Copies of this chain bind each other. A is one copy, B any other.
């Protein structure tokens, strides 16, 4: 029997992942300070910063698997927040208590912010997992250090370990003030969507694809880091103008209204050979279909 503890189970990616894990026959325990009755799993209430409480849950549940999605997420602050170090602490303690409770396989969540964002090094090529990392932010640095530490720790105690590096997830349920939700909100309110030039190329992955990829990664045997992405470069201008068309307000799209950020790369796209060939998962949801579904989700929301 496969029993999994999922941290961050009530988050944007977590909710979708719980469904994907249940479909694969996992018995899912969500671990959270704030259980969410809308997510179908057995809830364990604990603060991940309270390592005694976490230890208690793991001893009681004795999970075979661990999927650790939780991290600092406060928009605009998480790039530099001191709490990034706290999340490394919490992650190391979680691995330790999972191991001591007899766990077998643990998967953590990384980010494309672990990679260099230097355009001259990226050189317009899809980023492979094995390249030397050079994170620019505290967030990226903390995730990268957590990967190295959890990987080495897992080897030293004989725990199966993998790490999904998520690129740019989007989709229904995303209320973060990131690009896609912000543009949708603006257009729905009849306000202009102020954007940069939009020539940045990104690897946008539908949250349900990312969730299914995590479930496949957790269920499988692949070790180490695996990019969770599509391998496809999409310009921000393409995303934004598609949203303008879907919401029938192309007139409100203001490409070039904002300065581009100097610290963001022109091109950030994943090499997904490990995901495809080793995990055996290929993203299925086309961008336009995914954006349409996202717009429809927003139209059903009552705020």
Residues of A within 8 A of B (CB): 80-82, 84-86, 88-89, 92-93, 95-96, 99, 132, 138, 141-142, 145, 148-150, 152-153, 155-157
Residues of B within 8 A of A89 (CB): 89, 92-93, 96
New A-B pairs, 5, CB < 8 Å, besides A82-B96, A142-B149, A145-B148:
A80-B156, A85-B92, A89-B92, A141-B148, A145-B149
Query: In the bound complex, do residue A152 and residue B92 qualify as a contact, i.e. CB atoms below 8 Å apart?
Result: no
CB distance from A68 to the nearest CB of B (A): 14
Alpha-carbon distance between A47 and B157 when the two chains are bound, in angstroms: 23
Alpha-carbon distance between A82 and B151 when the two chains are bound, in angstroms: 11
Residues of B within 8 A of A142 (CB): 149, 152
Alpha-carbon distance between A141 and B155 when the two chains are bound, in angstroms: 13
Interface of A is mostly: helix
Number of copies: 2
Residues of B within 8 A of A92 (CB): 85-86, 88-89
Query: In the bound complex, do residue B149 and residue A88 qualify as a contact, i.e. CB atoms below 8 Å apart?
Result: yes
Query: In the bound complex, do residue A82 and residue B156 qualify as a contact, i.e. CB atoms below 8 Å apart?
Result: yes
Q: Which of B81, B95, B96, B152 contacts A138 (CB 8 A)?
A: B152
Q: Which of B84, B95, B145, B156 contacts A145 (CB 8 A)?
A: B145
Residues of B within 8 A of A145 (CB): 145, 148-149
Known contacts being A132-B132, A149-B145, is A85 close to B81, with CB within 8 Å?
no
Query: In the bound complex, do residue A82 and residue B153 qualify as a contact, i.e. CB atoms below 8 Å apart?
Result: yes
Query: In the bound complex, do residue A156 and residue B138 qualify as a contact, i.e. CB atoms below 8 Å apart?
Result: yes
Chain B, Cβ-Cβ closest to A99: B82
The 9 closest A-B pairs by CB, nearest first: A85-B153, A145-B145, A138-B152, A82-B156, A89-B92, A85-B92, A82-B157, A89-B89, A141-B152
CB distance from A90 to the nearest CB of B (A): 9
Query: In the bound complex, do residue B95 and residue A152 qualify as a contact, i.e. CB atoms below 8 Å apart?
Result: no
CB distance from A81 to the nearest CB of B (A): 7
Chain B, Cβ-Cβ closest to A83: B156
CB distance from A142 to the nearest CB of B (A): 6
Residues of B within 8 A of A81 (CB): 156
Report which residue of A82, A148, A150 has the largest number of chain B beta carbons within 10 angstroms of its beta carbon.
A82
Alpha-carbon distance between A132 and B150 when the two chains are bound, in angstroms: 21
Q: Which of B84, B138, B149 contacts A85 (CB 8 A)?
A: B149
Report which residue of A93, A145, A156, A157 has the largest number of chain B beta carbons within 10 angstroms of its beta carbon.
A145
Known contacts being A149-B142, A149-B145, A152-B138, is A85 close to B80, with CB within 8 Å?
no
Residues of B within 8 A of A149 (CB): 85, 88, 141-142, 145
Enumerate 21 A-B pairs (CB-CB under 8 Å) in ascending A order.
A82-B96, A82-B99, A84-B152, A84-B156, A85-B96, A85-B149, A85-B156, A88-B88, A88-B92, A88-B149, A89-B89, A89-B92, A89-B93, A89-B96, A138-B153, A138-B155, A141-B152, A142-B149, A142-B152, A145-B148, A145-B149
